[in-house]
Structure 1
Amino acid sequence: MGSTAEEIVFYTNPMSRGRIVRWMLEELGQPYRTEVLEFGKSMKAPEFLAINPMGKVPTIVHRGVVVTEAAAICAYLADAFPVAGLAPALDDPLRGSYLRWLFFAAGPVEAAISAKAFGALPPPEKAGSLGYGSFEQMTDTLEQAAAGASPWLLGERFSAADVYVGSQVLWGQMFKTLPERDAFSCYGEQLRARPAWQRAAALDDALIPSRA
């Protein structure tokens, strides 16, 4: 699992959140090497646990730095390769909105969807104690973000926030973990039309073993 310092090594599984990072890498336009790991096998092997003790994907290694967590990887890559234009500069007023939606999807959206999927949503009177408030509050806020995408979260500028937030919306539509809303459908259509999304999906789909 060795690599040169400048090489992006991408550890993933095509049936994981690694699909988010694959899309980000295709938007980036930089060469990268893919290492496909198996759940419960190579993902939990000592060699990989030395890289990511969680034994989970996605994980990247670049310039000797290990980055885990899909949202963090997207943010890291956008800043590491500014020529791709996938993140506003530190002095750009859009930086605040970029970080807001990126972390909103990584925090409240992910937490609320997971809680609902496992029947662990708290009673309404406890909503104030949670980062996402209620599932309905999270969904309405996400809908406002998608409805305001014109065509992207930062207006005319596509960013890593669209990759991460967009992935949550696309998965929510696919797995029915989000309610059907016109804003989600329109935003999803725009995302699926991106050549980088199409390339990433084709690459990952080709790695999924046939179930025939």
Structure 2
Amino acid sequence: MSDNLILYTNPQSRGCIVRWMLEELGVPYRTEVLEYGEAMKAADYLSLNPMGKVPTLVHGDRIITECAAICVYLAEVFADSDLAPKSDDERARYYRWMFFAAGPMESAIVNKNIFGEDAGKDKQEMLGYGTYQLALDALSSVIKSSAYIVGDRFTAADVYIGAQLGWGLQFGTIEKREEFQEYVSRLSQREAFQRAHALDQALLKEVDEA
């Protein structure tokens, strides 16, 4: 464990994405588990994350929130991990699809599953994703085009996008397209993913028994 790198999380949150990223890096870190409710809204935690949500990563004197931002930050700071893009071609795909998934894709999934239908045609131009199907088709295009987001090499973009797709497939918020299932299955075989999953499952059991 390390007090220089602290992950504030809950095993039933997007903190699982950051856990996976940290396990891919193989660096020491400490985990602080927060329960939903008062713990996340306490003044000391709000000083770290004014949204009162997890995850939050504290790295020395630096505070980083938002999963995509945390993944990008860690990949760049721990450059020896080779999880950041190396060329301009990789960089273009990496940032394009990382932030597509964090912005339009997540909005499309949330809106579709909360409201049950797309906005009317007169409103679709106002949305960053247009329609749920259009967003899924766009993501399908990159998943089909190569083994990983930037090409033939695993990066932090695969951690973020793979985790989002994995949750979506598990909970039925994303269509079970063959390319999505194959991609998630391949990523779930990674040792770091399995370590992260085991750690969060153990935390979940502790929370349930508390």
Q: Among residues 57, 61, 69, which one is paired with 2:66 in the alignment?
A: 69
Shift of 1:93: 2.4
Q: What amino acid is the match of 2:32?
A: E
**Alignment-derived partner of residue 55 in structure 2:** 58
Structure 2 stretches lacking a partner, 5+ long: none
What is the rounded CA distance, in whole Å, between the counterparts of 2:28 and 2:88 in structure 1? 28
Runs of 4+ in 1 over 2 A off after TM superposition: none
Alignment of structure 1 residues 115-130 onto 2, 5 Å:
115-119=111-115, 121-130=118-127
Deviations 1:32-80 (A, max 9, x none): 1100001002111111111111111000011311100000000000001
**Alignment-derived partner of residue 149 in structure 2:** 153
Q: What amino acid is the match of 2:173?
A: T
Mapped pair 1:96 → 2:96: no
Q: Among residues 168, 171, 177, which one is paired with 1:175 in the alignment?
A: 171
Q: TM-score, normalised by structure 2?
A: 0.93
Mapped pair 1:23 → 2:20: yes
Shift of 1:149: 2.9
Q: What amino acid is the match of 1:130?
A: L
Q: Which has the higher helix share?
A: 2
What is the rounded CA distance, in whole Å, between the counterparts of 2:191 and 2:152 in structure 1? 17
Q: What amino acid is the match of 1:153?
A: I
Q: What amino acid is the match of 2:41?
A: K
Q: What amino acid is the match of 2:36?
A: F
The answer (yes or no) to whether the contact 2:108–2:131 under 8 Å persists in 1 is: yes
The answer (yes or no) to whether the contact 2:104–2:129 under 8 Å persists in 1 is: yes
Shift of 1:113: 0.6
Structure 1 stretches lacking a partner, 5+ long: none
| Number of aligned residues | 205
Q: Secondary structure at the match of 1:56?
A: coil
What is the rounded CA distance, in whole Å, between the counterparts of 2:141 and 2:172 in structure 1? 19
What is the rounded CA distance, in whole Å, between the counterparts of 1:153 and 1:59 in structure 2? 25
What is the rounded CA distance, in whole Å, between the counterparts of 1:200 and 1:65 in structure 2? 23
The answer (yes or no) to whether the contact 1:124–1:134 under 8 Å persists in 2 is: no
Mapped pair 1:189 → 2:192: no
The answer (yes or no) to whether the contact 2:112–2:132 under 8 Å persists in 1 is: yes
Shift of 1:125: 3.0
The sequence identity of aligned pairs, in percent, is 51
Deviations 1:123-146 (A, max 9, x none): 133211110111010011111122
What is the rounded CA distance, in whole Å, between the counterparts of 2:26 and 2:141 in structure 1? 30
